[in-house]
Amino acid sequence: FGSSHLRQASLGGNFLYLTIMLHRLATLRLGHRLASRNFTANSVAPAEKYKLPVQVNHAISGASVLGAVGTVLAAQQAGKGKFLGVDRGSWMFWHKSFGLLTGGLLVFRVGARLLSKAPAHLPGPAWIQRAGTATHLVLYAFTAVMAASGIRMGVTGGKGLPFFWTTFDSPPNAGDPAQAKQAFKVHKFVGYYGKFLIPAHMGGAGFHFFKGQTIFARIVPGL
């Protein structure tokens, strides 16, 4: 591998390590809270929640985004060989499938948010509330740009749009190598830096959780 491949592998490993450590930290903290608290009907104030359609969409979208990022990192690890017994082409097929799913879910997510009232900010300093709002807006923009550039790349590149069990063919005469190349540059640049928004978002949720605020009850279905 060249230096660029080694750098991608290193950054990919660091990203996965950071995400896993945040998850483990939250899990350990949750276990500690469950063991040390006596949860009664009056021990925790009821959480103001997002509407169920928003909660469900958030859960599926989050899994889809992680799937898209995880599979492209796996494809980078595979290179010209295989990673976990799977070749690069197969990893990219799954990456594009998760990306298309994420783009479709974003349309419903925005619609659900516009048609329902979001809960008020959790108590805290105004700058933290503004930072939370800004992070969500940037995540929306990141998801939209990645989905749009990926779709444009697939359509104008002539390879179509993979979607798990099938592939949607590009429209006739839609091929445009120049547009496909431009879309690839945007997709690669935004994806390279934007993926770090994910552990930042998870870290923000962990921050509220460690403060004892009912952050997950607001957005996780069934809590």
pLDDT in tens, 125-181: 899 899 989 988 999 999 999 999 999 999 999 889 999 999 999 988 888 999 999
CA 114/CA 137 separation, integer angstroms: 13
Name the pTM for this structure.
0.75
pLDDT on residue 115:
83
Compute the average pLDDT of residues 109-126.
86
pLDDT tens digit sequence for 40-82: 333 345 568 888 888 999 999 999 999 999 999 999 999 989 9
Q: Which residues contact 130 (CB under 8 A, 6 or more apart)?
A: none
Strand partners, 61: none
